[in-house]
Structure 1
């Protein structure tokens, strides 16, 4: 795909900063070796990043008798970033410094009565203010707020194009939020957020070809191809949750039948359990999917046969769908992320690995590592959303 010189420079800035954060403190020659850029290009980009306050000099490294090499490090006080995970049932905001250390968080529940756009906007704004005004942010400039919104979004226009679980169509989300918040605002979706989190500080760091499967109420896959996040022509790449798993299967919110999401999203897993054991005490009496998933997790740890069977069946469905991704994309790594994967953990992972080994082609299956997300201490989606804001800063470094 053709790119302008500005886009290439932004991508290189992003690559150098990501490597500097991963290896901080680090010398310029080491940055050049790790990124594949020339030493002269790295020196120029480091100067630009230092001018933005994102990197600082960090002394010298021992050169073993030669000329000492200067080191640079991320400047944790160079600013703060807010990442917001807007899900079907909650809004979770986190405040980060530039070393991706979580400084503060705020979580608010979304109820069915709250899902009108302006009501959701008020909840998001309240969560952002709670963390942006936290005492840990004192003296640190806010660089921006990244918002992850479920469904298809137009990141350039700041519009939630389609949020099928809410019935939203073409909601000008960032314009509405700008009425409540004074910060620079950036929008994308949880598929890209989960992938960005893994690329910055998780299992996909240093990998060129990776898939991050996000399991929550909805389901999707973030794709890294050739070392870069793949968004597609209209920012909707990764809607794997709406590919067909079962012909003429369960009805999906998107209007189709048999989608992956209807079998391995949280409501789908709850339905798997209900069909298997309609009277199971693992089922939440008030249809709380979060409570039921938590009960399944406890049941697996305690050896409850119904929980083990339900998670096994859900893992088999998920593994079959992941096998298709492995065959199609031949990734180095597949990361299971999102709150459902975090809750069900190793029992789910074992079933997915076994299903992929059975159903994927031998060569790509043998090369693809399948792991749980190691991102800890922060919401992967919130961390990835905060990286949208950082990406926006790097794309327009002259904007105040």
Structure 2
């Protein structure tokens, strides 16, 4: 806080106000916003006036009043423009078009084949997806305020560089410049850990807590972190690579090259390996290569019928996950810990219950009592939606009237003094 200028604090407070519109349904009065953000009414009035001036907010009638001056209702101006959010995964590129209220307008999904993973080939898929969603929504490119792109692995956000991708062995690829030239749009890069955490902060489990961990369980594994109400990036934007912390000394080989990583046990390939260890001839193993969703769907269906092998795989996966999550809970002391993405979506409540039981054996009593473990309530497009939110932030940051800002969520009453 000591290093933030008065203007930085003002911009952070602006994001806190905007987040309230995305986190709840219906228009808000300035009094509502002051109560919900713990900012003063004067601060909220100044911030909303700026946002109205930029066309981000509009008046939407008046609240009912028992007397006195009517209170104006404010809402997001969905017609102000559109946003593109892209989730680049190991097996597909999902592109979505949103209005400014982050209502979905169109979606496009294209497969990624192992033979077509050069930076230019991935850029081709992103470019094609952007064109497809604009055409489907009959929305002109001139209305797009920005494109948020989530790339797997480590991303240097300020330079717009994919510094390392474990899927495709990319190193120091200047993807922002490549995509900005192709799309002819402002492009904002980050990785799925940050995008998924941002989506939970704006729309999901992070709306009412300041200390949040969002665990992504797909082919890759990691954790998005929000600490003291702010998206935590670390010194080089690589915070959250929990999937590559050591769970088993000299354990399974991870695709990062190290041994015993969390990802090697609770990612989709790790779950397949657990099944292979328990039942080497199980027919689901034929679906494990390149079809993780089929493997997970099969395990879930068999577990629902009390199949002992499927139940054993889920139980062992939860045991690994509980031990790994214990480290996060002891280290970060979060209020809420969310299990999200492909593995959590398919294995659901059964995985959650088993993980909760396992977690108790690896966590100190006080942080365990403080944390709520839950499944993500967001749809499976959380990463692309979070990427669109990154683009929305980028739009505001790039505006001359708003100027640059480096954090995501607002600073509450303790920091508003100069707002």
Contact 1:84 1:91 in 2 (8 A): yes
1:394 is paired with a residue of what secondary structure?
Answer: helix
Alpha-carbon shift at residue 285 of structure 1 (Å)? 4.7
Shift, 1:146, TM fit: 0.3
Note if contact 1:244-1:260 (Cα within 8 Å) is conserved in structure 2. yes
Q: CA deviation at 1:164?
A: 1.7
**Distance across 1 between alignment mates of 2:343 and 2:28:** 36
Shift of 1:315: 1.1
Give the 3 Å change call, closer, same or farther, for CA 296–162 of structure 1 in structure 2.
same
Q: Please state whether the residue corresponding to 2:198 is helix, strand or coil.
A: helix
Residue 356 of structure 1 aligns with which residue? 359
Correspondence for 2:96 among 91, 94, 97: 94
For the residues of structure 2 that align with 1:173 and 1:138, how far apart are their CA atoms? Answer: 24
Is 2:57 the partner of 1:55? yes
- Give runs of aligned pairs for residues 1-400 of structure 1, distance below 5 A: 2-23=3-24, 24-135=26-137, 137=139, 141-285=143-287, 287=289, 288-376=291-379, 379-398=381-400
Which consecutive aligned stretches of 4+ in structure 1 deviate over 6 angstroms post-superposition?
none
- Post-superposition offset of 1:178: 2.1
Cα deviation for residue 278 of structure 1 reads 0.8
- The structure whose RCO (Cα within 8 Å, separation 6+) is larger is 2
For the 8 Å contact 1:52–1:397, the answer to whether it is kept is no
Aligned residue pairs, count? 399
Task: State the shift of 1:136 in Å.
Answer: 5.3
Q: Is the 8 A contact 1:13 1:394 kept in 2?
A: no
**Which one is further off, 8-17 or 127-136?**
127-136
Give 1:200 deviation, angstroms.
0.8
Distance 1:330 1:307 in 2: 32
Q: Show structure 1 runs of 5+ residues with no match.
A: none
Change (3 A) 1:286 1:199: closer
TM-score, normalised via structure 1 length: 0.96
What is the distance in 1 between the residues matched to 2:242 and 2:288? 30
